[in-house]
Chain A
Amino acid sequence: MSRELRVVLAGFGGQGVLFAGKVIATAGLIEDRELSWLPSYGPEMRGGTANCSVCLSDEPIGSPLVLDPDVLIAMNQPSFDKFVDAVVPGGLIIADTTLVPTIKERDDVTLCMVDAQQIAEAAGLKGLGNIVMVGKLFEQTGFCERETLDAAIDHCVPPKRAAMIEMNKKALELGMNA
């Protein structure tokens, strides 16, 4: 497991890529590591796509904008197409095949195809495909301790939506086993 992780999460607005990024960043916060979370906030947000860069490191983080990610989490086709070639050789791509039907093969990266939104919906967790993807990321990279991941969920779900905590944790499990 690499101690440094530079992730781009991308998808449609409303799929929760910014929240998924916040869960990853919060895991770094809990483990007292260096981290940054940078959302896109430009006109593309109005056009329906959203992305964010998350860095976890043991060294101070320079640019929080990840141009050449170790990991791409792509939740729709335009996002996959936009970032697929930016991933560093030896990197990891996790694609939600529910909305990424066309996969461009690269033989120098690990490609994980997870039918995340379908998996979430089938388990009664509609809208938690983003967290299924975080579960898969954890299974692939072990970017934090297992219990940290649950603690990050506790931290990120607002108190008035506390009912969502267990559902998010279940989505994590589904992702790990996907």
Chain B
Amino acid sequence: MAEKVLMKGNEALAESAIRAGCRFFFGYPITPQTELAAYMAKRMPKEGGTYLQAESEIAAINMVYGASACGARVMTSSSSPGVSLKSEGVSYMAGADLPGLIINVQRGGPGLGSIQPSQSDYWQATKALGHGDFQMIVYAPSTVQEMADCAYNAFDVADKYRMPVMILADGMLGQMMEPVVLPEPKTELPEKPWACTGHKFEREHNIANSLYLTAEELDRLNVERFERYEIVKQNEQLAESVMVEDADIVVVAFGASARIARSAVVSARKEGIKAGLIRPITLWPFPTDAIKETLGTAKVYLSVEMNMGQMVDDVRLTVNGQAPVEFFGRTGGVIPSPAEVLSKIEEINGKVGA
């Protein structure tokens, strides 16, 4: 097995993306994501790749569009306010069926907000990063190792479905160091017969475009795209379930807050409270299968988030009235303590009379 190294989450994302064959990085600095860009600036030239600090986030995402249209493995990264700026370009990528990786190392919002960790871009990432009917596949790693694993796989998934993929991290995961085993560099990358690489009079033009002036044609394309999304929903859901088999209280939490929720669940078990944890690893597609497996045994669900309550909507849609769904959150960059999550579990346990 490869050697374990100590790395920041931001650096692990960058190194792993390079090992996944990413050779183009376009970005613009913003805390708490900047180490990722800095790492790319140092490493990309050594791999024969391109690191470019664009004049703005908007320029960067349009460079991603261009490189992707030419068939390259390409990414950009930013933090919340910068990701908002990229939204138009991501919508264009979705409309042109272009793969690419967008990383959001979230900070508190709205507006310029804070620079501390947050999960308040859940809705943006999973519902509507930009205008129009489209989805991105969204990964929510919760360890530095998972940061590396998600970045490594994201390009394959993006290419397979020709979709933009997002890794939704946060300032805590980006800044912290943990041991990580980095993956082996990929040597075989998929063919992209749709890419605009020059037809040399040997084939039809390939065109990367999101403009369709005929209503029926755009209607057909949207329906086709959503058929593809259904396949993604069937194939790509990922979640980790911990002690849920006999759990009365199922906590649902992702990313950084899942780490805290896990500590709280372990403490609750020591008190004799039957608590468990479902940790979505994909936020879109939302891991409905993992949650549905607990319907009938769970008496109540508790969504723990670093926002005012966003993923709780998807938990409620999945549970569909079959059990109460509670929420606990902190915002603005405050990381909840395991003790306050445990208090909430204890309070709920009193109510359900388990």
Residues of A within 8 A of B (CB): 22, 25-26, 29, 32, 35-39, 41-43, 60-65, 67
Contact status of A63 and B177, CB under 8 A, knowing A22-B6, A41-B171: no
Convert B140-181 into 0s and 1s, putting 1 for each residue whose CB lies closer than 8 angstroms to a CB of A. 000000000000000000000000000000011001111100
Query: At the interface with chain A, which of B17-25, B211-219, B258-266?
Result: B258-266
Query: With A and B bound together, what is the CA distance between A61 and B175 in angstroms?
Result: 16
Which of A29, A39, A65 has a CB less than 8 Å from the CB of B6? A29
CB neighbours (8 Å) of A37 from chain B are: 6, 176-178
What residue of chain B has the Cβ atom nearest to residue A26's Cβ? Answer: B6
Least Cβ distance of A146 to chain B in Å? 20
What residue of chain B has the Cβ atom nearest to residue A54's Cβ? Answer: B177
CB neighbours (8 Å) of A25 from chain B are: 6, 177
What residue of chain A has the Cβ atom nearest to residue B174's Cβ? Answer: A41
CB neighbours (8 Å) of A26 from chain B are: 6
- By the criterion CB–CB under 8 Å, are B4 and A65 in contact? no
Chain B binding surface SS class: mixed
Given contacts A42-B116, A42-B333, 16 further A-B contacts (CB under 8 A): A22-B177, A29-B6, A29-B179, A35-B178, A36-B176, A37-B177, A42-B115, A43-B115, A61-B259, A62-B262, A62-B263, A63-B259, A64-B172, A64-B176, A65-B172, A67-B337
Query: With A and B bound together, what is the CA distance between A60 and B171 in angstroms?
Result: 20
B31 at the interface (CB under 8 A from A): yes
What residue of chain B has the Cβ atom nearest to residue A37's Cβ? Answer: B177
Which of B4, B175, B337 has a CB less than 8 Å from the CB of A39? B175
Query: With A and B bound together, what is the CA distance between A25 and B8 in angstroms?
Result: 12
CB neighbours (8 Å) of B6 from chain A are: 22, 25-26, 29, 35, 37
**A to B CB contacts below 8 Å, 15 in the list:** A25-B6, A29-B179, A36-B176, A37-B6, A37-B177, A41-B31, A41-B171, A61-B178, A61-B259, A62-B260, A62-B262, A62-B263, A63-B259, A63-B263, A67-B337
B27 at the interface (CB under 8 A from A): no
- By the criterion CB–CB under 8 Å, are A36 and B177 in contact? yes
- By the criterion CB–CB under 8 Å, are A63 and B335 in contact? yes
In chain B, residues 325-352, which have Cβ atoms closer than 8 Å to a Cβ of chain A?
333, 335, 337-338
What residue of chain A has the Cβ atom nearest to residue B115's Cβ? Answer: A42
Query: With A and B bound together, what is the CA distance between A36 and B179 in angstroms?
Result: 8
- By the criterion CB–CB under 8 Å, are A41 and B263 in contact? no
Query: With A and B bound together, what is the CA distance between A88 and B163 in angstroms?
Result: 49
Interchain residue pairs A-B with the least CB separation, the first 10:
A62-B263, A37-B177, A38-B176, A63-B260, A62-B259, A64-B176, A29-B6, A65-B335, A29-B179, A62-B262
B32 at the interface (CB under 8 A from A): yes
Least Cβ distance of A17 to chain B in Å? 14
Least Cβ distance of B152 to chain A in Å? 21
In this complex, how many residues of chain B approach chain A with their Cβ under 8 Å: the count is 25
Query: With A and B bound together, what is the CA distance between A42 and B5 in angstroms?
Result: 26
What residue of chain A has the Cβ atom nearest to residue B263's Cβ? Answer: A62
Query: With A and B bound together, what is the CA distance between A38 and B5 in angstroms?
Result: 16
Query: With A and B bound together, what is the CA distance between A4 and B5 in angstroms?
Result: 21
Contact status of A38 and B4, CB under 8 A, knowing A62-B259, A62-B338: no
- By the criterion CB–CB under 8 Å, are A63 and B116 in contact? no
CB neighbours (8 Å) of B263 from chain A are: 62-63
Which of A32, A36, A42, A65 has a CB less than 8 Å from the CB of B178? A36
- By the criterion CB–CB under 8 Å, are A38 and B115 in contact? no
Least Cβ distance of A54 to chain B in Å? 9
CB neighbours (8 Å) of A39 from chain B are: 175-176
CB neighbours (8 Å) of B335 from chain A are: 63, 65
CB neighbours (8 Å) of A41 from chain B are: 31-32, 115, 171, 175
CB neighbours (8 Å) of B177 from chain A are: 22, 25, 36-38
Query: With A and B bound together, what is the CA distance between A60 and B266 in angstroms?
Result: 11
CB neighbours (8 Å) of A67 from chain B are: 337
CB neighbours (8 Å) of B333 from chain A are: 42
What residue of chain A has the Cβ atom nearest to residue B179's Cβ? Answer: A29
Least Cβ distance of A24 to chain B in Å? 11
Query: With A and B bound together, what is the CA distance between A67 and B340 in angstroms?
Result: 12
CB neighbours (8 Å) of B32 from chain A are: 41
- By the criterion CB–CB under 8 Å, are A35 and B31 in contact? no
CB neighbours (8 Å) of A62 from chain B are: 259-260, 262-264, 266, 338
Query: With A and B bound together, what is the CA distance between A41 and B4 in angstroms?
Result: 25
Query: With A and B bound together, what is the CA distance between A163 and B5 in angstroms?
Result: 23
What residue of chain A has the Cβ atom nearest to residue B6's Cβ? Answer: A29
CB neighbours (8 Å) of B175 from chain A are: 38-39, 41
CB neighbours (8 Å) of B115 from chain A are: 41-43
CB neighbours (8 Å) of B4 from chain A are: 29, 32
What residue of chain A has the Cβ atom nearest to residue B31's Cβ? Answer: A41
CB neighbours (8 Å) of A22 from chain B are: 6, 177
What residue of chain B has the Cβ atom nearest to residue A32's Cβ? Answer: B4
Query: With A and B bound together, what is the CA distance between A41 and B177 in angstroms?
Result: 13
- By the criterion CB–CB under 8 Å, are A64 and B259 in contact? yes
